[in-house]
Amino acid sequence: MSEISFSEPFALFAAWMKEAEASEVNDPEAVCVSSVDAAGRPSSRMVLLKAVDERGFVFYTNFESRKGTEILANPQVALLFHWKSLRRQVRIEGRAVPVDPAEADAYFATRARGSQIGAWASQQSRPLESRFALERRVAEFAAKFGLGKVPRPDHWSGFRVPPDRLEFWRDKPFRLHDRDIYIREGEGWARQKLYP
């Protein structure tokens, strides 16, 4: 393995994300997040990446949802970006940590008002007796907050995933794909090519 600077995989990710933003029709920031439950059963779902820097990859959710409770109980997660138009993917593994409340507040304030109300109204991942019940809860919270500021609910926040491993995959002819893996080593990274 070769030793490289700490910033290199993040710089490569930023370059790939910029290309994805130019070529993907919908949601280039969509990422599959995989967690596991207490029995070790995996669960995956799509979320939207909201920030990335050398501290890690950030997404937001209801901490009382299935993903929220699973990640709080076992913070080892995997993320997967797949950009079909570019024929590329990035796999990330790491230990999720909740973002600072001030960071969550700042992001929540940028959300559309309807999404802010929805964060209060949705009992995410729990049984819903009818669509009307959800719409009633939305109306109740819309009335509660009126025209004033909608504060962030305590149960709604973000996770940051500082990566331990990043794998960059590029499609090549005859399924002889390029695979580069970065593994965290102290303050830097070790990089290695993998067989396709």
Asked if residue 65 lies in contact with residue 124, where contact means CB atoms within 8 angstroms, the answer is yes
CATH of residue 104:
2.30.110.10
Q: Which residues pair with 170 in a beta bridge?
A: 88, 178
pLDDT at residue 7, rounded to an integer: 72
Q: Quick check: is 134 in a domain?
A: no
Whether residue 142 lies inside any domain: the answer is no
Check residue 6 and give its pLDDT.
53
Q: Which of 177, 117, 174, 186 is nearest to 146 (CA)?
A: 117
Range of the domain at 176: 2-111+154-193
In a domain, 133, yes or no: no
Task: Give the distance, in angstroms, between the CA of residue 11 and the centroid of all CA atoms in the same chain.
Answer: 18
pLDDT at res. 4 = 54
What confidence tens digit (pLDDT) does each residue in 32-59 have? Answer: 999 999 999 999 999 999 999 999 999 9
In a domain, residue 140? The reply is no
Please check whether residue 148 lies inside any domain of the structure.
no
Q: Would residue 138 count as lying in a domain?
A: no
Catalytic one among 66, 175, 179, 191?
Answer: 175
Exposed/middle/buried for residue 132 (C-beta within 10 Å: 0-12, 13-18, 19+)? exposed
Which residues partner with 35 through β-bridges? Answer: 43
Percent of the chain with pLDDT over 70: 97
pLDDT for 167: 98
Residue 144: per-residue pLDDT: 96
Tell me the CA end-to-end span of the chain in Å, nearest whole number: 17
State how far the Cα of 93 lies from the Cα of 96, in Å rounded to an integer: 9
Residues of the chain with pLDDT under 50: none
Q: Is 121 among the domain residues?
A: no
Q: What is the pLDDT of residue 129?
A: 95
Q: How far apart are CA 121 and CA 134, in angstroms?
A: 7
pLDDT of amino acid 87: 96
Q: Tens of pLDDT along 72-85?
A: 999 999 999 999 99
Query: Residue 42: inside a domain, yes or no?
Result: yes
The answer to whether residue 91 is catalytic is no
Three-state secondary-structure class, residue 90? strand
Instruction: Work out how many domains the chain is built from and give that number.
Output: 1
What value, to the nearest 5°, has the Cα angle with vertex 156 and ends 142 and 111?
A: 60
Beta-bridge partner residues of 82: 89
